């Protein structure tokens, strides 16, 4: 039935184009109109919307589950929100099932951004629109929009915070640092790392910073599955190999809070002083640590905003409008530039925590007194 609708819509759209003799004037973003025919028609106000989330590797994903369920229900839709703790094949099966259950839009936070092509292409063939949520989906045409915080900017802010923290807490340089990167299968890990290195590399080149282990590439620094135990093990090895003879570790670039706390555990078990360390996600334990003067920084990516933006885009599609993008250049997924709607990440340190979290009911109180 859906196939038929899609075919009819395609016909209608084609004849509309033929009649007007020019391309569609919907949307001002200049974005490629993949899935545009479906967008022109909209769908039922109580449609099923699928949300495929990855594993619970950080608090933001857990929060997203509840926010999607509540927000989509409130907007009148029927949500199917699922985690894939079992890994990539579980996520593939879940997306397949969402197609069969008649979802009109599938929002996907990919575990492995390059392993969903077949499922998302099947979704497109069924007339379903696809939104990549937080993590880009790679090497497929079958993605219509990317909604995320600006990942490269996250990395830049982390690099800048590390330099600032070193100057504030470790006196004059030069400084010894180590680098941690995210999971290699997550499309975000590269922009996080490259953003940070765009700030740190010139300081490595001019001798201000030394990566004592010599592990400076993304491959060497990566943390499979974003798992704390993997980061902790690697840090243990680095500390015993490169810092056992009294060499001081001044700073660590960490891509998120979970891995920052893992690295801090490793350092404290080795009996070494706390290095300046970055993070991301504003997880409760890390915010407490920042307020207490241990972890140096985190990033605030308000999950409420990201989910609300995704739902707003679903509502546009429901009304038959085009998705809205504010960046049509940055996110090349290997086969096309995916139109993106990017939100601004915010750096948080002990100094501005109270101000940044003032409107967050969970984090705000952690900064008081
Ligand atoms: C998210 C980060 C998160 C990481 C691990 C990334 O894709 O953007 O916020 O820390 O996944 O869950």
Q: Report the pLDDT value the prediction gives residue 318, as an integer from 0 to 100.
A: 97
Residue 344 near residue 149 (C-beta atoms within 8 A): yes
Q: Is 37 in the pocket of ligand 1 (CB under 6 A)?
A: no
DSSP type of residue 75: T
pLDDT digits (tens, 9 = 90+) for 208-258: 999 999 999 999 999 999 999 999 999 999 999 999 889 999 999 999 999
Give me the tens of pLDDT residue by residue for the chain, a chain 369 residues long. Answer: 333 333 333 333 333 333 333 333 323 333 344 444 444 469 999 999 999 999 999 999 999 999 999 999 999 999 999 999 999 999 999 999 999 999 999 999 999 999 999 999 999 999 999 999 999 999 999 999 999 999 999 999 999 999 999 999 999 999 999 999 999 999 999 999 999 999 999 999 999 999 999 999 999 999 999 999 999 999 999 999 999 889 999 999 999 999 999 999 999 999 999 999 999 999 999 999 999 999 999 999 999 999 999 999 999 999 999 999 999 999 999 999 999 999 999 999 999 999 999 999 999 999 996
Element housing 59 (H / E)? helix 59-74
Q: Report the pLDDT value the prediction gives residue 22, as an integer from 0 to 100.
A: 31
Centre of ligand 1 to C-alpha 278, Å, is 14
User: In this structure, are strands 145-149 and 175-179 parallel, antiparallel, or unpaired?
Assistant: unpaired
Q: Which of 148, 146, 121 is nearest to 134 (CA)?
A: 148
Centre of ligand 1 to C-alpha 58, Å, is 7
Cβ-Cβ contacts under 8 Å for 312 (sequence gap 6 or more):
none
Angstrom distance (rounded) from CA 131 to CA 127: 13
Question: What is the DSSP code string of 136-172?
Answer: PPPS-S---EEEEE-HHHHHHHHHHHHHHHHHHHS-S
Nearest atom in ligand 1 to the alpha carbon of residue 258 is 10
Nearest atom in ligand 1 to the alpha carbon of residue 299 is 9
Let me know how long the chain is: 369
Tokens of 354: 């109270």
Q: Tell how many helices (H) and how many strands (E) occur in the chain.
A: 13, 12
Q: Which of 102, 97, 148 is nearest to 119 (CA)?
A: 97
Centre of ligand 1 to C-alpha 226, Å, is 8
Q: Report the pLDDT value the prediction gives residue 41, as an integer from 0 to 100.
A: 63
Please tell me the pTM assigned to this model: 0.88
Nearest atom in ligand 1 to the alpha carbon of residue 186 is 7
Q: Is 138 in the pocket of ligand 1 (CB under 6 A)?
A: no
Centre of ligand 1 to C-alpha 238, Å, is 24
Q: Is 60 in the pocket of ligand 1 (CB under 6 A)?
A: yes
Cβ-Cβ contacts under 8 Å for 271 (sequence gap 6 or more):
none
Strand partners, 341: 147
Report the chain's C-alpha Rg in angstroms. 22
Tokens of 90: 């579980």
pLDDT digits (tens, 9 = 90+) for 113-153: 999 999 999 999 999 999 999 999 999 999 999 999 999 99
Centre of ligand 1 to C-alpha 14, Å, is 40
């Amino acid at each position: 039935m859906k196939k038929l609708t899609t075919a009819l819509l395609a016909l209608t759209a084609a004849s509309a184009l033929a009649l007007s003799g020019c391309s569609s004037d919907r949307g001002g973003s200049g974005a490629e109109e993949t899935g545009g025919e479906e967008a022109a028609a909209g769908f039922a106000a109580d449609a099923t919307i699928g949300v495929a989330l990855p594993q619970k590797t950080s608090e933001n994903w857990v929060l997203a589950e509840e926010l999607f369920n509540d927000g989509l229900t409130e907007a009148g839709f029927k949500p199917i929100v699922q985690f894939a703790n079992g890994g990539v094949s579980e996520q593939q099966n879940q997306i397949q099932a969402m197609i069969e259950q008649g979802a009109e839009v599938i929002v996907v936070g990919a575990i492995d951004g390059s392993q969903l092509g077949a499922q998302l292409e099947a979704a497109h063939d069924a007339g379903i629109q696809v939104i990549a949520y937080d993590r880009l989906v790679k090497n497929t045409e079958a993605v219509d929009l990317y909604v995320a915080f600006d990942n490269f900017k996250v990395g830049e802010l982390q690099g800048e915070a590390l330099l600032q923290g070193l100057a504030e807490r470790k006196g004059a340089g030069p400084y010894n640092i180590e680098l941690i990167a995210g999971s290699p299968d997550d499309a975000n890990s590269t922009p996080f790392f490259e953003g940070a290195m765009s700030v740190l590399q010139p300081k490595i080149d001019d001798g201000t910073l030394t990566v004592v282990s010599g592990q400076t590439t993304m491959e060497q620094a990566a943390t499979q599955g974003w798992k704390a135990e993997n980061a902790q093990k690697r840090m243990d090895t680095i500390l015993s190999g490169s810092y056992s003879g009294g060499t001081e570790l001044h700073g660590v670039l960490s891509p998120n809070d979970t891995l920052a706390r893992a690295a801090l555990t490793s350092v404290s078990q080795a009996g070494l002083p706390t290095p300046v360390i970055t993070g991301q996600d504003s997880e409760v334990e890390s915010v407490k640590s920042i307020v207490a003067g241990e972890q140096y920084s985190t990033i605030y990516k308000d999950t409420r905003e990201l989910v609300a933006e995704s739902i707003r885009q679903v509502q546009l599609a429901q009304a038959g409008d085009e998705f809205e993008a504010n960046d049509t250049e940055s996110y090349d997924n290997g086969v096309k530039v995916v139109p993106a709607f990017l939100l601004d990440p915010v750096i948080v340190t002990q100094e501005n925590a109270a101000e940044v979290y003032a409107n967050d009911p969970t984090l705000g109180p952690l900064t008081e007194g």
